[in-house]
Amino acid sequence: MTAGRARSRRLGMTTVVVALAIGVGGTATTATAATPGTTATAAATAAPSSATAAEKVDYETWQRDVRAIIDEQARPYIEERTANPSGQKQAIVLDIDNTSLETDFRFALPQHPVEPVLKLSQYAHERGVAIFFVTARPGIISWPTEWNLEQVGYSVAGLYVRHLPDLFQNVADYKTAKRAEIEKNGYTIIANIGNSATDISGGHAEKSFKLPDYDGQLS
């Protein structure tokens, strides 16, 4: 896959999703609020191990690399971390594009989930963990994004999209601020999972897991 193709796929999907948003109208952003809570920091980043060239980003390679991190690193950690929550309101924060949904790989509505991430989120949710989504997607596609996530099986405790003031902030700072907001609402973010460096820098999570973006080729 070339970078050009990846870009055009993203553009195509964005166009469809925006069209859907305009067609159905309205936006809905949720973020549950509660009492102030603890702030957890320190990130242990699991780096992808393989391909960097655009033409090497094929679906099977990507899936294998995602599974290596989610199934072999994130899952054992979540199992252990959720075994005894000690009264904490635990949360996981997920990026959306190419972390929760297969945005750059399949053209479909609803967009397909990234299966290993979906399964991990469902497991965590069953153990009482709230699943929050923090995305750079614009507010205009908030409603179809939430619909998409729920349609393919995600539990959505809160969805943070970028509204007008957020567009003037760099993505890493915006995402970090939203994680801080989730913590302020009383949650302990036990894991933050994303595929871009801007998803996981800035702390405000006990542990971070970096899925591959192959040098920025995946959004």
Q: Looking at 51-59, 123-131, 170-178, 191-199, which segment touches Mg ion (CB under 5 A)? A: 191-199
Q: For Mg ion, which residue of 89, 90, 97, 137 counts as binding (CB under 5 A)? A: 97
125 and 152 Cβ atoms separated by less than 8 Å: no
Smallest gap, in angstroms, from Cβ of residue 213 to Mg ion? 7
- Residue burial 6-39, b: 16+ Cβ < 10 Å; e: rest: beebbeebbebbeebbeeeeebeeeeeeeeebee
Comparing CB distances to Mg ion, the nearer of 148 and 195 is 195
Q: For Mg ion, which residue of 111, 195, 198, 208 counts as binding (CB under 5 A)? A: 195
At 97, the amino acid letter reads D
Smallest gap, in angstroms, from Cβ of residue 197 to Mg ion? 10
Q: Looking at 36-44, 81-89, 98-106, 176-184, which segment touches Mg ion (CB under 5 A)? A: 98-106
The answer to whether 98 contacts Mg ion (rule: CB under 5 A) is: yes
Angle ∠(90,110,145) on CA atoms, nearest 5: 50
Residues across the chain: 219
Q: For Mg ion, which residue of 13, 21, 95, 200 counts as binding (CB under 5 A)? A: 95
Q: Looking at 7-15, 16-24, 37-45, 97-105, which segment touches Mg ion (CB under 5 A)? A: 97-105
Comparing CB distances to Mg ion, the nearer of 104 and 183 is 104
CA distance 47 to 73: 11
Smallest gap, in angstroms, from Cβ of residue 89 to Mg ion? 25
Comparing CB distances to Mg ion, the nearer of 102 and 185 is 102
Smallest gap, in angstroms, from Cβ of residue 85 to Mg ion? 28
- And the tokens for 114? 């990234």
Smallest gap, in angstroms, from Cβ of residue 94 to Mg ion? 10
SS (H, E, C) 181-204: HHHHCCEEEEEEEECCHHHHCCCC
Comparing CB distances to Mg ion, the nearer of 129 and 218 is 218
CA distance 89 to 51: 37
**Alpha carbon distances (Å) from 98 to 32, 63, 114:** 25, 10, 7
Comparing CB distances to Mg ion, the nearer of 185 and 195 is 195
Closest by CA to 136, choosing from 194, 84, 180, is 194
Q: Which stretches of the chain bind Mg ion, using CB under 5 A?
A: 95, 97-98, 195
